[in-house]
Amino acid sequence: GAPKDSKLYGSVEIDITDVELFIAQKRKKGLKITLTHVLASAVGKIIGKDIPELNCYVKRGKIVQRNSVDASISVLMKSGEMGSVIVKGVDKMSLQEVSNYINQKVADVKQGEETKATSNKHLLAKIPWPFRRWVFTLLKFIAVDQAISIKGLGLSPSGFGSFILSNIGTLGLDLGFGALMPGSSVAMAMFIGSAKKKPVVIKDEVVIRKMLTVSVTLDHRIVDGKHGGMLFRGLNRRLNSLAEL
**pLDDT tens readout for residues 169-219:** 988 889 998 888 766 789 999 999 999 999 999 999 999 999 999 999 999
Mean per-residue pLDDT, 85-114: 85
Least confident range of 39-53, 149-163, 203-217: 149-163
Closest CA to 58 of 136, 5, 10, 8: 5
70 close to 84: Cβ distance less than 8 angstroms: no
| Planar angle of CA 155, 161, 163, nearest 5 degrees | 130
Is residue 118 pLDDT above 90, yes or no? no
d(CA 220, CA 85): 25
Is residue 141 pLDDT above 80, yes or no? no
Burial of 236 (C-beta count, 10 Å sphere; 0-12/13-18/19+): middle
d(CA 23, CA 26): 5
Is residue 27 pLDDT above 80, yes or no? yes
Least confident range of 11-25, 152-166, 195-209: 152-166
Strand ranges inside the chain, DSSP E = 7-15, 56-59, 62-65, 71-76, 82-87, 163-167, 188-202, 205-219
Identify the band that residue 116 occupies on the pLDDT scale cut at 50, 70 and 90: low
Number of other residues whose CB lies within 10 A of the CB of residue 132: 13
Closest CA to 98 of 47, 51, 42: 42
Is residue 76 pLDDT above 80, yes or no? no
Q: What percent of the chain has pLDDT over 70?
A: 85
> Across the strands, what pairs with 189?
164, 217
Between residues 112 and 109, the one the model is more confident about:
109
